[in-house]
Amino acid sequence: MAAASVFRPGLFNNKVAIVTGGGTGIGKAISAELLELGCNVVISSRKAEKLQAAAEEMKQKIPPASPASVTPLPCNIRNEAEVKALVSSVLKQYGRIDYLVNNGGGQFTSPVENMSSNGWKAVVDTNLNGTFHCCKEVYSAWMKQHGGVIINIIADMWKGFPGMAHTGAARAAVDNLTKSLAIEWAASGVRVNAVAPGTIFSKTAMANYKELGPQLFARSVPLIPAKRLGLPEEISSAVCFLLSPAASYISGATLRVDAGQSLYHSMWEIPDHSAWPEAPDGENMDALKELFNPQSKL
Any idea what DSSP says for residue 222?
G
**DSSP H or E run through 286:** helix 283-292
Where exactly are the structural domains of the chain? Answer: 16-266
Helix (H, G, I), strand (E, B) or coil at 80: helix
pLDDT reported for residue 295: 67
Q: Residue 60 — φ and ψ, nearest 5°?
A: -65, -20
pLDDT reported for residue 66: 94
If we measure between CA atoms, which residue out of 262, 267, 258 comes closest to residue 164? 267
Helix (H, G, I), strand (E, B) or coil at 88: helix
Reading the chain (298 residues) residue by residue, the pLDDT tens digits are: 446 899 999 999 999 999 999 999 999 999 999 999 999 999 999 999 999 999 999 999 998 899 999 999 999 999 999 999 999 999 999 999 999 999 999 999 899 999 999 999 999 999 999 999 999 999 999 999 999 999 999 999 999 999 999 999 999 999 999 999 999 999 999 999 999 999 999 888 888 777 777 888 999 999 999 999 999 999 999 999 999 999 999 999 999 999 999 999 888 889 999 999 999 999 999 998 899 887 655 4
Any idea what DSSP says for residue 281?
P
Q: Please list the residues that pair with 279 across neighbouring strands.
A: none
pLDDT reported for residue 143: 99
b/e string for 97-135 if b means 16 or more Cβ within 10 A? bbbbbbbbbebbebeeeebeeeebebbbbbbbbbbbbbb
Helix (H, G, I), strand (E, B) or coil at 210: helix
Specify the pairing of strand 69-72 against strand 254-257: unpaired
Cβ neighbours around 19 below 10 Å, total: 31
Q: Are 76 and 69 in contact (CB under 8 A)?
A: no
The CATH architecture assigned to 16-266 reads 3-Layer(aba) Sandwich (3.40)
Identify how many contiguous H helices and E strands the chain contains and give both numbers. 11, 7
pLDDT reported for residue 3: 60
Cβ neighbours around 66 below 10 Å, total: 16
Q: Which residue type is seen at 211?
A: E
Q: Are 70 and 59 in contact (CB under 8 A)?
A: yes
pLDDT reported for residue 2: 47
Cβ neighbours around 280 below 10 Å, total: 7
Q: Are 105 and 130 in contact (CB under 8 A)?
A: yes
Q: Which residue type is seen at 259?
A: A
Contacts of 194 (CB under 8 A, 6+ apart): 151, 152, 153, 154, 174, 175, 178, 253, 254, 255
Specify the pairing of strand 69-72 against strand 148-153: unpaired
Helix (H, G, I), strand (E, B) or coil at 71: strand
